[in-house]
A and B are shown apart, each in its own frame.
Chain A
Amino acid sequence: MTEQAQWRAATPQALAWRRFDDEIVIYNDATGSTHQLGALASEVMLSLIQNPSGMDLRALVGALTARVEVAADLDVAIEVQRALDDLTELHLAARAPA
């Protein structure tokens, strides 16, 4: 079920972000909060903003691995899901309604 769930940026219009090397800092005008995202979370977030129609886990993993090199021992799907969970908790991402 998780793999088919669609995710999207919660309020893309409310966001401002800057990239510094591998990471991004992002401001959410909807919450007034500012976040520093690690490399993987940054790529996930930017993918979601780029695709407002929503992305499932498989598409996110595909987008990530197409853009950056990933260590062989990293379970990308688990890390991406973890990032999605964190981003959702921070109101940066949201699960799209079924």
Chain B
Amino acid sequence: MTVASRPVLGQVACTASAITSINMQSSINHNCSITSGLSPEKWKTLAAQWPTPYSGAGSATGTTSTTTTTTTTTTTRINSNQLLQQQLAGGGTSSTSSTTTSGTSSPYTSGGTTSPYTSGGTTSPYTSGTSSPYYAATSPYYAATNTATMYHCPTTGLGGHVFSQKTMLEVIDVTTGGLGSLGRYTVAALLNARSGRTPMLSETTVRAMWNDLLNRGYYEPTAGIRWGAAEIVAYIKTTIA
């Protein structure tokens, strides 16, 4: 802007900072002002409880698809209602972090014929091998807990190769360089958005922040304003409680 073409601020002091408003709503959308996001460090401690389709636990396979059938026969047994509640609540602590083992503790099986949900040892829809929605290899709840999500993959939608071969969880530990810091906070922002903790910062926006910065060198939060990596990190931090 050219100073010469602009009136000097303060010549009409009473209007220098004048504000006129048309308020369409009497109260703000409180979802937009609540900062309840979790930090990268916190998400690291909750690696086994990330909201699907993201996964922090397990080995890096580059995908979030299901793998083996061992989950149906070994140690993992989860009260699916509890897991769903945890995911909706944004990854709170859980006592069923996929390590409990029991042949009879599931409310859906009794191991014998007395369960209201089973009429026989292996014919229950809730317990029979690979047909159970809760125990089969294709269970949406099991898939994420066994394959760690890569930082750059279709699931995250984060383009480029800055963190090639690194999982989202591994990127949390990267603190070097401008993009390094952005990476860890992008992970946190994605998880916060997915778990509903930051209504005003959606997954789509998080992806746009990363991809625009990569492709254009900046992100525009609103037309005419350009943010670099530092500004994006600063903004994400404001969404973290």
Residues of A within 8 A of B (CB): 8, 10-17, 19, 21-22, 29-41, 43-44, 46, 49-54, 64, 67-71, 73-74, 76, 79-80, 82-83, 86-87, 90-91, 94, 96
Contact = CB atoms under 8 A, between A and B. Distances in A.
Q: Is the interface of A mostly helix, strand, loop or mixed?
A: mixed
Contacts of A86: 17, 19
Given A12-B221, A13-B205, A38 B15 contact: yes
Nearest to A37: B19
Interface in B155-214: 200-201, 205
Contacts of B200: 11, 13-14, 30
Given A16-B222, A67-B1, A74 B16 contact: yes
A52 B223 CA distance: 15
A38 B8 contact: no
A82 B9 CA distance: 15
Contact of A12 (B1, B22, B235): B235
Given A11-B200, A13-B221, A71 B8 contact: yes
B17 A40 contact: yes
Contacts of B19: 35-38, 41, 83, 86-87, 90
Contacts of A22: 6-7
Interface in B8-45: 8-11, 13, 15-25, 28-29, 32-33
A30 B28 contact: yes
Given A14-B32, A22-B6, A91-B28, A33 B18 contact: no
